[in-house]
Amino acid sequence: MIKQKDKAMEQNQINTIFKEALNQTISNYAEKARLDVTHMLLHICGQIRPYMVVTEAGSEALSEEIFSNEIRRDFIFNLTFNFLSRIYFIDDKLITKIISGFTHSLALTERVNSSSSGYEALDKLPEELSNRIPTHEEIYNLLCSNKWLIIVLLINLYISVEDFQLEEKTS
């Protein structure tokens, strides 16, 4: 019971730190740039599917969408720095826990790309879909190599369209 309570407290701490980093990063932008950032955040909240972010096609499309726009690219880089620095200063193992948590939740099948794994008969996803979904190891490596994707997943996890629109209306 204590371990679950500690995990819940840790998860709340990550949520709080992320929202603080997000708010500070947004506040550093002028009104016009803030509007573009707001549109990107609302798009991530409402239209980006986490399970697609970790596929090759999904991460490439998102990369093009974010990095072809200087304001969005700058925002994602600044938010990545702002959040990861705060997390690391508190507990340098938290980022590994975040990556592991996302990896576990996004590995929709335990398939390991090996016919001898024994899981094939249990995999109920259609084969054409199952073949496109990355393995646990592929997701972990992708997130370790592209920390900006962690930020996109955190936006999707912790930020809701309604909350953000309410903030936008009161500004």
Q: Six-digit token pair at 62? A: 């998102």
Q: Is residue 171 helix, strand or coil?
A: coil
Of residues 168 and 123, the one with the higher pLDDT is 123
Q: Is pLDDT above 70 for 96?
A: yes
Q: Which amino acid is at 39?
A: H
- Entry pTM: 0.85
Cβ-contact 102, 134 below 8 angstroms: no
Report, in this order, helix, strand and coil percent for the chain, each rounded to 5. 75, 0, 25
Tens-digit pLDDT profile for residues 25-67: 999 999 999 999 999 999 999 899 999 999 999 999 999 999 9
What percent of the chain stands above pLDDT 70?
A: 84
